[in-house]
Structures are given as C-alpha cells and as structure tokens.
Structure 1
Amino acid sequence: MNSIPSNRQLWNRISGSYQQKHDAQIGAAPRLWGMYSIPDAQLHALGDVTGKRVLELGCGAGQWSRALAAEGATVVGLDLSEAQLGAAAGATGAARYSLVQGAAEHLPFADGSFDLVFCDFGGLSWAPPHLAVPQAARILRRGGRLVFNVASPWFEACYDEAASRVTTTLQQDYFGLNTIAEGDGATSYQLTYGDWVRVLRGAGLVIDDLIEPRPDLGTPNGYNETDPADWAHRWPAELLWVTHKP
C-alpha cells in the first residue's frame, strides 16, 4: 500500500490550520513530547545532542528541529509536505537547520549519515513501520540512536470514531490495527507491542527502553478528547521507544 500521495495531500491541506492550533503548544519550550507536552528532562529519552548529526522524521513546522539546533546539533528536518516545510522555512531560527522533502519509507540519505534519528508523532506514525524503521536503521551510524514517540495501541483501540474521543471501552481489535484511515485516502499506522519489537529487532536495532509517558493529573491533551479526562494518567496513551544500532 502506497499512502505517500494521499498523506502528502492531507498534510498540504491541513498544515495551516494544524500549525495555527498547535504551534504554541509544540514550541512552548524545548523538547516537549507528545499529546501532553511532557518534558524530555522528565523522560530522559534523547540525551545530549551537542555536536551530533540529527534527523527529524516528519519535522512539521520545525519546532523540535529548531530546539535541537539551538543546543548545538547539526539538524536536518524531513517532511513529506511542501506546506509543512514552508512553515518550517518561514519560522524564526530556520537558518539553523536544513530542510529536505521526502518520505520516511524512502529516506534520501547515505548509509551511516546520522547519530540520531527521532520523531514525535512524525514519520513513524505516517509511514509503514516495516519500511520506515529499516530505513532509519540504515542511515544511522554504529552506536547511533533511533528515538520516537507514537500513540499506544490501547489508545487507538479505545478511540470511538462516532464520538470523536478516546473512551474506556474497546472499540476495535488490538490485533490487526496496522492501518488507520484518516480520511481522503490518507493513512496512519499502528502496531501492537509485539509487532513493534519484531520490527525494531528485525532492523538490527537494540531496544534500550520503552517509556510510557504518564502526564500528571489535570494535564490537558492538546490533540484528542478523552473520557475520562485523566485517561492517560491511568492507561498508556503513548509509547516512546529508545533504541540504538550496535
């Protein structure tokens, strides 16, 4: 299944409204992960990036890329969408990093090009993981790290499409989630815990940690309605994988 054209079209169409709604949250401070903006200082996922060559898979308007470039990393932001790249190029501080248009499942970089490949609900949510993860592993140097945050399969399995919210009731099967229709032919992707492990290990990566970010009580979800409001404090909403290439 080639979801690249439809996903590109979707993000070109919604980029402006998405950034208008979420830019302040994503860029509120450096290194904020996921739907609940949990600081990396609390989760300890990325580590020191000073002097490292870093690729962000699905950089959007470049909020993460700008932050890591300001810390002394040499950053490349990759995105499928021209509109998203335009937002990144027009942002203050854009001169600090490079921008490349491309798809996570067909990375236009040489083997061993990067010390760190990462994304926060980026390329590994919008590209087939069995294609994108081996590509990320290929362009990592030995000892390089792949760190990425995606929705938990339980969050997806409890999403009630009719109510447009996450509930405490299973709405779809856990097994076989795989592809999620996003409208207009666009597709996002999800795996079970076991399938993520198999894809990562199959690409030759070592799993160092699986962080399940847990927001404090009262922390709002900036992207989805949940019922109850403290859903992610009680069950895992996100999976933050920390891996390296031996």
Structure 2
Amino acid sequence: MDSIPANRRLWNKISGDYQHEHDPRIGAAPRLWGMYSIPDTHLRALGDVVGKRVLELGCGAGQWSRALAAEGADVVGFDLAETQLAAASAAMGASRYRLVQGAADQLPFATGSFDLVFCDFGGLSWAPPHLAVPQAARVLRPGGRLVFNVASPWFEACYDEPAGRVTTTLRQDYFGLAAIAEGDGATSYQLTYGDWVRVLRGAGLVIDDLIEPRPDPGSLNGYNETDPPDWAHRWPAELLWVTHKPEVPHAER
C-alpha cells in the first residue's frame, strides 16, 4: 500500500503543533542529532559541508538546512508536507536555501546532483527504505555521502503502545519490524540491522560507520517517554548510519 499520501496528510495536519513543541529544541544550536539533541561535534558524522551541495530529506522547519547553509553549503531542503516547508520558509532568515516538495521514494533531482544527502528522523523514517535509499544513492555523485539517523530497532521493539512509552520489556517481534502504523493510514518505517545493511549495500553504498548515539545519564528525550528515564544511556535508541557512494573505477570513466 502506498503510504505517502497518508503521511503527507498527517504531517500537513500536525506540522504546526509539532513545530510549536519541538522547534526550540531542534533549533537550539546547529547540528543536533535525534531525540536527545546530541551535538555532531561529539558524534562527528556529517563532516565539513563548505562549498558542498547538500540535500536534506525531510527538512521540516529547516533547522538543519538553515544551519548548514550558514556554514557555506549549497542546501536543498526537501519535505513531503507543504506546511512543513511553509514553516521552513518563514524561519529561513538570512541563510537562504532552496525548498522542494516531494516524496523521498521519488526524488525529482538528476543523477549525481549532491555531495551529501542526509536526514535526522526524516525521509528515511517516513518513506519505504527499499525505495528511498536507492533514490538517495542515485542522486549522490560518486564519492558522495548518505548520512542518516533513525530509531533503533531496540527502541521500536520495546515501545509499549498502550502506555505510550518505551520500557525494558520486548513488546514487538524484532523480525516483524517493517511498517509501523501511525494512524489514519500513515506509516513510518523501521528495519532490523541486517535489513538496513542489505538495503544500503543493495543500493551500491559502502557503510563507513554505524554510530549508536548515547546520551549522558539524565539527558531528556524530547519526543518519547521512557522507563527508566536513562533508557538510551543503557540501550541504543538511535542508529546513525554513515555511508558513501564509491568512486567510479578509472576503467569505467
């Protein structure tokens, strides 16, 4: 089933409330990853972006895109929902960058257009990864990088839906992780470690690192309730994949 129209409706509906609740946290400082706002200066996942063409898949209100444009990147913020892009446009300020509406499984960009494609709980959480990852790989130039942060399958498997929180008890089958119903036909996506590896390698990408961001004890999760509160200090809540598209061999140029 094509979840993209329902996901678009969901994010157009909830964008205002989402930004009101989370914008101060997401935009508190440049380059903050994930549920615990861990600085990229600590994780060292994204690297230097000066002079590079960058695509953010699922840019929301543009907090990341705005920061990278201010650093000197040529940024395109891409999102499924028009209301998210309207929020990005309103907050753009002096750091100008391009905004494009569309779905991550059908990117409207030429092959080899970008030096870096990235997302932080964006397009690769809200589009089928087996379709979206090959699209991301296609629009990367040889040597370009795909870097993205998603929820860990541990986090999803321990999520207690009726209680609305993450606990220390396994609630879902690990091998059953795939599509997660978000209501009104909307769907988010989660893969096992092995399935992520197969999808990435199947798209021709080389896996350089898998970072499991670990917040300090007492760090607050701005998005989910956890029991115990320091859940993510003890078990991985997120997966930050760092990959690249191989250079074209000399004989094939």
Same fold (TM over 0.5): yes
Query: Cα gap change, 1:44/1:203 in structure 2, threshold over 3 Å: closer, same or farther?
Result: same
Correspondences of 1:49-64 after superposition (within 5 Å): 49-64=49-64
Matched, 1:89 2:75: no
> Residues 88 and 94 of structure 1 are in contact (CA less than 8 Å); yes or no, is this contact kept in structure 2?
no
Residue by residue, what CA displacement relative to the aligned partner does 1:202-228 show, whole Å, maximum 9, x if unpaired?
A: 000000000000000010000000000
Q: Distance in 2 between matches of 1:232 and 1:92?
A: 32
Identity of paired residues, percent?
85
* 1:77 corresponds to: 77
Residues in 1 aligned to 2:37 and 2:6: alpha-carbon distance in whole angstroms: 28
Instruction: Describe the shift of the 1:195–1:116 C-alpha distance in structure 2 as closer, same or farther (beyond 3 A).
Output: same
Counterpart of 1:115? 115
Q: Secondary structure at the match of 1:96?
A: coil
Alpha carbons 1:150, 1:239 under 8 Å: kept? yes
Output the amino acid matched with 1:75: V
The residue matched to 1:222 in structure 2 has which SS?
A: coil
Name the amino acid aligned to 2:38: I
Alignment TM-score, normalising by the size of structure 2? 0.96
Matched with 2:230 is 230
Summarize deviations over 1:35-79 as a string: whole Å, max 9, x none: 000000000000000000000000000000000000000000000
SS at match of 1:83: helix
**TM-superposed deviation, 1:92:** 3.9
Match of 1:196 in 2: 196
SS at match of 1:217: coil
**Counterpart of 1:232 in 2: which secondary structure?**
helix
Partner in structure 2 of residue 25 of structure 1: 25
Q: CA deviation at 1:94?
A: 6.3
State the one-letter code of the partner of 1:91: A
Residue correspondence of structure 1 range 34-183 to structure 2 within 5 A: 34-93=34-93, 96-183=96-183
Equivalent pair of 1:207/1:244 in contact (CA under 8 Å): yes
- Counterpart secondary structure, 2:134: helix
Provide the rounded CA distance (Å) in 2 between the counterparts of 1:94 and 1:143: 30
Deviation sequence 1:97-149 (CA, Å, 0-9, x none): 10000100000000000000000000000000000000000000000000000
- 1:79-108 Cα distance to aligned partner (Å, 9 max, x none): 000000000011142651100001000000
Report the CA distance between 1:176 and its aligned residue.
2.0
Q: Give the paired residue count.
A: 246
State the TM-score, normalizing by the size of structure 1. Answer: 0.99
On the 8 A contact 2:67/2:95 being kept in 1, the answer is: no
C-alpha separation in 2, matches of 1:130 and 1:180: 15
Q: CA contact under 8 A between 2:213 and 2:237: conserved in structure 1? A: yes
CA distance in 1, matches of 2:51, 2:42: 22
CA-atom RMSD, angstroms?
0.7
The one-letter code sitting in structure 1 at the alignment partner of 2:71 is E
Q: How does 1:203-218 map to 2 (within 5 A)?
A: 203-218=203-218
